[in-house]
Amino acid sequence: MTEVEKAAQIILSSKYVVALTGAGISTPSGIPDFRSPGSGLWEKVDPMAVASIYAFRLNPERFFEWFRPLGKTLLESKPNPAHIALAKLEEAGLLKAVITQNIDGLHQKAGSKRVLEIHGHIREAECIICRRSYPTESFLHNYLELGEIPRCQCGGILKPKVILFGEPLPKWVFLEAVGEAQRCDAMIIAGSSLEVYPAAELPTLAYQNGAKLIVVNLQSTYADSIADVVIREDVAVALPAIAEKCLERS
Protein backbone atom coordinates (compact mmCIF):
# COMPACT_ATOMS: atom_id res chain seq x y z
CA MET A 1 0.00 0.00 0.00
CA THR A 2 1.37 3.42 -0.98
CA GLU A 3 1.51 6.36 1.40
CA VAL A 4 -1.25 8.04 -0.63
CA GLU A 5 -3.46 4.98 -0.20
CA LYS A 6 -2.68 4.86 3.53
CA ALA A 7 -3.66 8.51 3.87
CA ALA A 8 -6.91 7.93 2.00
CA GLN A 9 -7.69 4.94 4.19
CA ILE A 10 -7.17 7.00 7.35
CA ILE A 11 -9.45 9.77 6.07
CA LEU A 12 -12.19 7.35 5.05
CA SER A 13 -12.07 5.46 8.34
CA SER A 14 -12.12 8.63 10.48
CA LYS A 15 -15.19 10.46 11.71
CA TYR A 16 -13.79 13.96 12.10
CA VAL A 17 -10.89 15.06 9.89
CA VAL A 18 -9.39 18.56 9.92
CA ALA A 19 -6.52 20.08 7.95
CA LEU A 20 -3.76 22.41 9.07
CA THR A 21 -2.13 24.29 6.21
CA GLY A 22 0.91 26.54 5.98
CA ALA A 23 2.70 28.65 3.38
CA GLY A 24 3.80 25.57 1.44
CA ILE A 25 0.28 24.89 0.20
CA SER A 26 0.28 28.25 -1.60
CA THR A 27 3.77 28.17 -3.15
CA PRO A 28 2.42 26.30 -6.22
CA SER A 29 0.15 29.34 -6.69
CA GLY A 30 3.24 31.56 -6.96
CA ILE A 31 3.24 32.88 -3.40
CA PRO A 32 6.70 32.59 -1.79
CA ASP A 33 6.92 30.93 1.60
CA PHE A 34 9.02 32.20 4.47
CA ARG A 35 11.68 29.61 5.20
CA SER A 36 12.52 27.57 2.09
CA PRO A 37 16.27 27.64 1.39
CA GLY A 38 17.08 30.06 -1.42
CA SER A 39 13.56 31.44 -1.90
CA GLY A 40 12.05 32.08 1.54
CA LEU A 41 11.04 35.65 2.33
CA TRP A 42 13.03 35.68 5.56
CA GLU A 43 16.27 34.95 3.69
CA LYS A 44 16.11 38.45 2.21
CA VAL A 45 14.97 40.52 5.18
CA ASP A 46 14.90 40.35 8.95
CA PRO A 47 11.25 39.59 9.84
CA MET A 48 11.53 41.55 13.08
CA ALA A 49 12.63 44.62 11.12
CA VAL A 50 9.70 44.66 8.68
CA ALA A 51 6.97 42.31 9.92
CA SER A 52 6.78 42.81 13.68
CA ILE A 53 4.23 45.00 15.42
CA TYR A 54 7.10 46.96 17.01
CA ALA A 55 8.66 47.72 13.61
CA PHE A 56 5.24 48.60 12.19
CA ARG A 57 4.62 51.18 14.89
CA LEU A 58 8.12 52.66 14.57
CA ASN A 59 8.37 52.65 10.79
CA PRO A 60 5.12 51.71 9.02
CA GLU A 61 6.49 53.05 5.74
CA ARG A 62 9.09 50.27 5.69
CA PHE A 63 6.42 47.61 6.26
CA PHE A 64 4.25 48.91 3.43
CA GLU A 65 7.23 49.20 1.08
CA TRP A 66 8.18 45.57 1.82
CA PHE A 67 4.60 44.26 1.65
CA ARG A 68 3.65 46.03 -1.60
CA PRO A 69 5.05 43.46 -4.11
CA LEU A 70 3.83 40.61 -1.89
CA GLY A 71 0.38 42.19 -1.76
CA LYS A 72 0.22 42.28 -5.56
CA THR A 73 1.21 38.62 -5.70
CA LEU A 74 -1.40 37.63 -3.12
CA LEU A 75 -4.19 39.39 -5.00
CA GLU A 76 -3.23 38.00 -8.40
CA SER A 77 -2.76 34.40 -7.21
CA LYS A 78 -5.27 31.65 -7.83
CA PRO A 79 -6.00 28.41 -5.95
CA ASN A 80 -3.91 25.44 -7.01
CA PRO A 81 -4.88 21.73 -7.07
CA ALA A 82 -3.96 21.35 -3.37
CA HIS A 83 -6.51 23.98 -2.30
CA ILE A 84 -9.10 22.48 -4.61
CA ALA A 85 -8.47 18.96 -3.26
CA LEU A 86 -9.24 20.08 0.30
CA ALA A 87 -12.39 21.89 -0.87
CA LYS A 88 -13.56 18.70 -2.60
CA LEU A 89 -12.94 16.65 0.55
CA GLU A 90 -15.03 19.14 2.53
CA GLU A 91 -17.79 19.11 -0.07
CA ALA A 92 -17.87 15.29 0.16
CA GLY A 93 -18.24 15.51 3.94
CA LEU A 94 -14.80 14.00 4.55
CA LEU A 95 -13.15 17.16 5.92
CA LYS A 96 -14.72 19.27 8.65
CA ALA A 97 -12.46 22.33 8.73
CA VAL A 98 -9.30 23.91 7.39
CA ILE A 99 -7.09 25.65 9.92
CA THR A 100 -4.68 27.84 7.98
CA GLN A 101 -1.63 29.93 8.81
CA ASN A 102 -2.02 31.70 5.46
CA ILE A 103 -3.48 35.15 4.86
CA ASP A 104 -4.09 34.76 1.11
CA GLY A 105 -7.74 33.60 1.14
CA LEU A 106 -7.04 30.90 -1.45
CA HIS A 107 -8.88 28.21 0.49
CA GLN A 108 -12.07 30.24 0.25
CA LYS A 109 -11.45 30.97 -3.43
CA ALA A 110 -11.10 27.22 -3.99
CA GLY A 111 -14.49 26.60 -2.40
CA SER A 112 -13.67 25.70 1.21
CA LYS A 113 -16.48 26.85 3.48
CA ARG A 114 -15.08 26.42 7.01
CA VAL A 115 -11.69 28.12 7.15
CA LEU A 116 -10.08 29.24 10.40
CA GLU A 117 -7.51 31.94 9.58
CA ILE A 118 -5.37 31.92 12.71
CA HIS A 119 -2.85 34.43 11.32
CA GLY A 120 -5.45 36.86 10.02
CA HIS A 121 -6.29 37.96 6.49
CA ILE A 122 -5.93 40.84 4.03
CA ARG A 123 -9.60 41.54 3.37
CA GLU A 124 -9.71 44.36 5.94
CA ALA A 125 -7.43 46.84 7.66
CA GLU A 126 -7.78 48.56 11.04
CA CYS A 127 -6.75 52.02 12.20
CA ILE A 128 -4.01 51.78 14.81
CA ILE A 129 -5.43 54.83 16.61
CA CYS A 130 -9.26 54.65 16.60
CA ARG A 131 -9.62 50.95 15.63
CA ARG A 132 -12.07 51.66 12.81
CA SER A 133 -12.06 48.92 10.15
CA TYR A 134 -12.00 49.43 6.38
CA PRO A 135 -12.34 46.94 3.52
CA THR A 136 -8.95 46.61 1.85
CA GLU A 137 -10.45 47.28 -1.58
CA SER A 138 -11.21 50.87 -0.51
CA PHE A 139 -7.51 51.83 -0.62
CA LEU A 140 -5.96 49.00 -2.63
CA HIS A 141 -5.40 50.80 -5.94
CA ASN A 142 -3.75 53.86 -4.40
CA TYR A 143 -1.49 51.65 -2.29
CA LEU A 144 -0.46 49.02 -4.84
CA GLU A 145 -0.24 51.29 -7.89
CA LEU A 146 0.80 54.62 -6.36
CA GLY A 147 2.48 53.53 -3.15
CA GLU A 148 0.18 55.61 -0.92
CA ILE A 149 0.13 54.45 2.70
CA PRO A 150 -3.50 53.79 3.72
CA ARG A 151 -4.88 56.12 6.37
CA CYS A 152 -8.05 56.39 8.41
CA GLN A 153 -10.35 59.40 8.39
CA CYS A 154 -8.84 60.28 11.78
CA GLY A 155 -5.37 60.34 10.23
CA GLY A 156 -4.16 57.09 11.75
CA ILE A 157 -2.38 54.51 9.65
CA LEU A 158 -4.38 51.44 8.63
CA LYS A 159 -2.81 48.10 9.52
CA PRO A 160 -3.94 45.05 7.53
CA LYS A 161 -5.68 42.48 9.73
CA VAL A 162 -2.74 40.11 9.53
CA ILE A 163 -0.89 38.93 12.61
CA LEU A 164 2.60 40.41 12.82
CA PHE A 165 5.41 39.10 15.02
CA GLY A 166 4.78 40.14 18.59
CA GLU A 167 0.98 40.21 18.23
CA PRO A 168 -1.37 37.69 19.83
CA LEU A 169 -3.40 35.46 17.53
CA PRO A 170 -7.10 36.33 17.12
CA LYS A 171 -8.43 34.84 20.35
CA TRP A 172 -11.72 33.31 19.27
CA VAL A 173 -10.43 31.95 15.98
CA PHE A 174 -7.48 30.28 17.70
CA LEU A 175 -9.68 28.86 20.46
CA GLU A 176 -11.90 27.37 17.76
CA ALA A 177 -8.81 25.89 16.08
CA VAL A 178 -7.71 24.37 19.39
CA GLY A 179 -11.18 22.86 19.76
CA GLU A 180 -10.94 21.33 16.30
CA ALA A 181 -7.50 19.86 17.08
CA GLN A 182 -8.85 18.32 20.28
CA ARG A 183 -11.96 16.98 18.59
CA CYS A 184 -10.50 15.51 15.39
CA ASP A 185 -9.54 11.87 15.00
CA ALA A 186 -7.32 12.63 12.00
CA MET A 187 -5.36 15.72 10.97
CA ILE A 188 -3.89 16.47 7.55
CA ILE A 189 -0.84 18.75 7.91
CA ALA A 190 -0.08 20.24 4.50
CA GLY A 191 2.66 22.68 3.53
CA SER A 192 3.66 23.74 7.04
CA SER A 193 7.14 23.64 8.51
CA LEU A 194 5.54 23.57 11.97
CA GLU A 195 8.10 26.09 13.20
CA VAL A 196 5.73 28.95 14.10
CA TYR A 197 4.05 28.75 17.48
CA PRO A 198 1.41 28.46 18.80
CA ALA A 199 0.05 27.08 15.51
CA ALA A 200 2.75 24.39 15.56
CA GLU A 201 1.29 23.00 18.78
CA LEU A 202 -1.96 21.93 17.11
CA PRO A 203 -0.68 18.60 15.68
CA THR A 204 0.71 17.65 19.10
CA LEU A 205 -2.63 18.51 20.67
CA ALA A 206 -4.44 16.35 18.11
CA TYR A 207 -1.99 13.48 18.62
CA GLN A 208 -2.33 13.63 22.40
CA ASN A 209 -6.08 13.27 21.96
CA GLY A 210 -5.67 10.14 19.85
CA ALA A 211 -5.79 11.60 16.34
CA LYS A 212 -3.83 10.10 13.45
CA LEU A 213 -1.54 12.51 11.62
CA ILE A 214 -0.93 12.76 7.88
CA VAL A 215 2.01 15.03 6.98
CA VAL A 216 2.37 16.28 3.39
CA ASN A 217 5.42 18.54 3.15
CA LEU A 218 8.61 18.77 1.12
CA GLN A 219 10.74 19.49 4.19
CA SER A 220 10.90 17.50 7.41
CA THR A 221 8.82 18.58 10.42
CA TYR A 222 8.85 17.68 14.09
CA ALA A 223 5.55 15.83 13.58
CA ASP A 224 7.12 13.30 11.19
CA SER A 225 8.18 11.13 14.13
CA ILE A 226 4.62 10.79 15.44
CA ALA A 227 2.76 10.82 12.12
CA ASP A 228 1.02 7.77 10.68
CA VAL A 229 1.78 8.88 7.12
CA VAL A 230 4.55 11.18 5.87
CA ILE A 231 4.53 12.19 2.19
CA ARG A 232 7.54 14.16 0.90
CA GLU A 233 5.95 15.48 -2.27
CA ASP A 234 4.60 18.66 -3.74
CA VAL A 235 1.26 19.30 -2.03
CA ALA A 236 -0.28 20.15 -5.42
CA VAL A 237 0.44 16.57 -6.49
CA ALA A 238 -0.06 14.62 -3.27
CA LEU A 239 -3.30 16.17 -1.97
CA PRO A 240 -5.22 15.74 -5.25
CA ALA A 241 -4.02 12.11 -5.37
CA ILE A 242 -5.27 11.53 -1.81
CA ALA A 243 -8.58 13.25 -2.54
CA GLU A 244 -9.07 11.21 -5.70
CA LYS A 245 -8.55 7.95 -3.78
CA CYS A 246 -11.01 9.08 -1.12
CA LEU A 247 -13.70 10.21 -3.56
CA GLU A 248 -13.57 7.07 -5.66
CA ARG A 249 -14.10 4.93 -2.57
CA SER A 250 -16.59 7.05 -0.63
If you ran DSSP here, which 8-state letter would residue 238 be given? Answer: H
Q: In the prediction, which pLDDT does 43 show?
A: 54
Q: In the prediction, which pLDDT does 146 show?
A: 87
Q: In the prediction, which pLDDT does 69 show?
A: 85
Q: What is the pLDDT of residues 41-67, one digit of tens each?
A: 555 667 787 789 999 999 999 999 988
* Residues that are catalytic: 119
Contact (CB, 8 A) for 28 and 237: no
> Which positions ≥6 away from 158 have C-beta within 8 Å?
125, 126, 127, 128, 134, 139, 150, 151, 152
What 3-state DSSP class applies to 218?
coil
Q: In the prediction, which pLDDT does 45 show?
A: 64
How would you list the strands of the sheet with 120-127, edge to edge?
133-135, 120-127, 158-162
**Is pLDDT of 37 > 60?**
no
pTM equals 0.91
Contact (CB, 8 A) for 102 and 123: no
Q: In the prediction, which pLDDT does 126 show?
A: 94
Domains and CATH numbers, the chain: 1-30+79-119+168-250 (3.40.50.1220), 32-76+122-162 (3.30.1600.10)
